[in-house]
């Protein structure tokens, strides 16, 4: 049986990809950013997932104002890097997992989430930058270390999905993955954000207090986050802060209780707050042990009481 073992939240700032592609990672400005993902790459190398589901938003590469799916699932065998105006990024073609993707589509649609099934799609920095941050730099003739199932979410054109809808989609994806017969370990990414606004009078807005509270609740109280309305994201985190709802798909696909393995936060990177978190499903064995402990204490107390009576 397949299972989702962990979730990764990561910003997908395009300038991060440009810094990587142009060998600027050791410059003081960018080294501060990339150093925050060193432990994450070590974690990914140790975890070695069989598949990754990457939740991201397309930036007018695969879709446009002519076609705006709310949720689009990539079911193809491969996804080439998109040309975002200055040529495709020099990264490997993303290999898909059509069998698992088709299974997720069937399960989720029958659970009444209307996905758009995409059998041909190019992927942009929204997906490739987080892969770089967690897997390191890859040349075009190399391969990513695992196949990827892209899930593109509309957070560009109004109306985007609510945080609650995203969270519940994550739960439906969890159910779908767990009903897939192959023995696969899956990691799910939630990308985008954190707080930023790229245009208008508030361009450059960053709200660190809001971002850190979001990360706190992502671990401890995700249901609280599902109640945040769109207007609050835009007011507190900037117009592009709405991307944060995609992290709730990742969180919904995990167990209710998670262990926060790692967190990184820095500002700014190209006028954006860079956020990152790794969550693993809480170890069930330790939870059962914790529940048994009080029973042992009660039994010991009962034995002591009996010994006292006998004496």
Model confidence pLDDT, tens digit, residues 161-207:
999 999 999 999 999 999 999 999 999 999 999 999 999 999 999 99
Residue 61 has pLDDT above 80, yes or no: yes
Confidence of residue 155 (pLDDT cuts 50, 70, 90): very high
Confidence of residue 286 (pLDDT cuts 50, 70, 90): very low
Which residues have CB under 8 Å from 205's CB, separation 6+? 195, 196, 197, 237, 238
Structure tokens given for 263: 């967190």
Mean pLDDT, residues 13-27: 97
| Angle (CA) 280 137 272, round 5° | 70
Q: Give the Å distances, CA to CA, from 62 to 127, 156, 163.
A: 12, 13, 23
Q: What is the pLDDT of residue 309?
A: 34
**What is the residue-averaged pLDDT of the chain?**
92
| Angle (CA) 61 67 69, round 5° | 90
Q: What is the pLDDT of residue 29?
A: 97
97-112 per-position pLDDT tens digit: 999 999 999 999 999 9
Mean pLDDT, residues 247-272: 97
Catalytic residue (choose from 12, 97, 103, 125)? 125
CA 225, distance to chain mean position in Å, is 15
Query: Above pLDDT 70, what percent of the chain?
Result: 91
Where are the strands (E) in the chain, listed by range? 3-10, 51-56, 71-74, 78-79, 94-95, 116-118, 148-153, 185-191, 258-266, 274-281
Q: Does the annotation count 164 as an active-site position?
A: no
Catalytic residue (choose from 12, 97, 196, 276)? 196
Q: What is the pLDDT of residue 285?
A: 54
Confidence of residue 283 (pLDDT cuts 50, 70, 90): confident
- 164 C-beta neighbours (distance < 10 Å), count: 17
Radius of gyration of the chain from its Cα atoms, rounded to whole angstroms: 21
Q: Does the annotation count 97 as an active-site position?
A: no
Q: What is the pLDDT of residue 301?
A: 41
Residue 308 has pLDDT above 60, yes or no: no
The pTM is what? 0.90
Confidence of residue 304 (pLDDT cuts 50, 70, 90): very low
Confidence of residue 70 (pLDDT cuts 50, 70, 90): very high
Residue 16 has pLDDT above 90, yes or no: yes
Residue 305 has pLDDT above 90, yes or no: no
Task: List the domains of the chain with CATH numbers.
Answer: 3-310 (3.40.830.10)
The span from the CA of 148 to the CA of 154, in Å, is 19
Conformation bin of residue 60: beta by default, left when phi > 0, alpha when psi is -120 to 50: left
């Amino acid at each position: 049986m397949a299972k989702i073992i962990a979730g990764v939240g990561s910003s997908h700032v395009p300038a991060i990809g440009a810094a990587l592609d142009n060998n600027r990672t050791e410059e003081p400005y960018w080294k501060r950013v990339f150093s925050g993902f060193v432990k994450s790459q070590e974690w990914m190398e140790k975890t070695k997932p069989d598949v990754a589901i990457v939740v991201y938003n397309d930036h007018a590469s695969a879709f446009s104002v002519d076609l705006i799916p709310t949720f689009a699932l990539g079911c193809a065998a491969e996804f080439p890097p998109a040309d975002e105006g200055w040529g495709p990024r020099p990264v490997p073609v993303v290999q898909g997992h059509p069998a698992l993707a088709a299974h997720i589509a069937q399960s989720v649609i029958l659970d009444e989430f209307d996905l758009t099934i995409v059998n041909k799609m190019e992927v942009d920095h929204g997906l490739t930058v987080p892969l770089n941050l967690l897997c390191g730099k890859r040349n075009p003739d190399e391969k990513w270390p695992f196949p990827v199932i892209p899930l593109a979410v509309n957070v560009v054109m109004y109306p985007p999905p609510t945080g609650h809808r995203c969270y519940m989609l994550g739960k439906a994806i969890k159910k779908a993955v767990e009903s897939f017969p192959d023995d696969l370990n899956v990691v799910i990414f939630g990308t985008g954000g954190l707080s930023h606004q790229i245009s208008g009078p508030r361009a450059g807005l960053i709200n660190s207090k809001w971002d850190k509270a979001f990360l706190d609740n992502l671990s401890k109280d995700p249901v609280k986050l599902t109640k945040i309305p769109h207007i609050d994201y835009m007011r507190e985190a900037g117009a592009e802060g709405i991307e944060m709802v995609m992290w709730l798909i990742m969180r919904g696909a995990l167990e209710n209780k998670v262990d926060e393995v790692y967190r990184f936060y820095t500002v700014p990177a190209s006028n954006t707050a860079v956020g990152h978190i790794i969550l693993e499903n809480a170890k069930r064995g330790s939870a059962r042990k914790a529940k048994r402990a009080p029973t042992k204490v009660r039994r010991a107390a009962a034995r002591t009481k009996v010994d006292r009576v006998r004496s």
